[in-house]
Amino acid sequence: MHSTARTAANRYPERVTYERDAVYAILDEALAVHVGFNTELGPVVIPTLHMRVGDQLLLHGSAFGRFITTAASGAPLCVTATLIDGVILGRASSHHSAAYRSAMVFGTASPIEDERERADALAQVVESVIPGRLSGPHAARRPNTEEARYTACLTMPIEEFSMKVRAGFARDEPKDDHVESWAGWIPLTTTPGIPVPDEITGDRFPAPAYDPSVHRFRQD
């Protein structure tokens, strides 16, 4: 994959890659994405849960919401996923930054019209958040076709994309070497909490357990 007019980097092009596998890794690790699109009242960006299935993104939302109705009409979309790995501190405030991995995908999406296929797609989104949630002895109920009428699901081909990575230390200048201030970077990680059951669940069923290999809670 090569850069396009929309994905080419004007600043720090050395931080950008167009490797499909690298972009997929970001989309798979991110719990949510942000979707940008234009409306009659101006640009809008919304967060939503997603899932990657092969070379497609699954995006979901209210069947009657502004995002779904706009995207389903064929409006161009910009989908981004960002993972913050830390903060970078320099000796000069202008060189402070963040360590991050960010993926950007451009394209248009198509609604899944068949109710059974849409219900299956919504189930896949649930599985992307909690792997194993809809299978096994203590599985949650799968979405039915009636529920699928109110929650839409879109498929978006992953064809035009890029990934940008910022890591390492601040780009301090020699003139600031004398500044007596700590410089370096501070890693940030997402720390999972302890699952809290509701009143009906209590301690009757095993809670999902965190699996760091997929950055998700897994229901076994």
108-163 pLDDT, tens digit per residue, is 999 999 989 999 999 999 999 999 999 878 899 998 888 888 899 999 999 999 99
How far is residue 68 from each of residues 36, 108, 113, 127, 148, measured CA to CA in Å? 12, 12, 13, 21, 13
What pTM was estimated for this model as a whole?
A: 0.91
Q: How far apart, in whole angstroms, are the C-alpha atoms of residue 21 and residue 103?
A: 11
pLDDT for the residue numbered 143: 87
pLDDT for the residue numbered 5: 84
pLDDT for the residue numbered 148: 81
Phi, psi for residue 71 in degrees, rounded to 5: -65, -40
How far is residue 131 from each of residues 138, 161, 201, 208, 215, measured CA to CA in Å? 13, 26, 19, 9, 10
pLDDT for the residue numbered 211: 92
pLDDT for the residue numbered 1: 62
| Ranges of the chain with pLDDT below 70 | 1
Please report which residue ranges of 92-217 form alpha helices under DSSP H: 115-129, 145-148
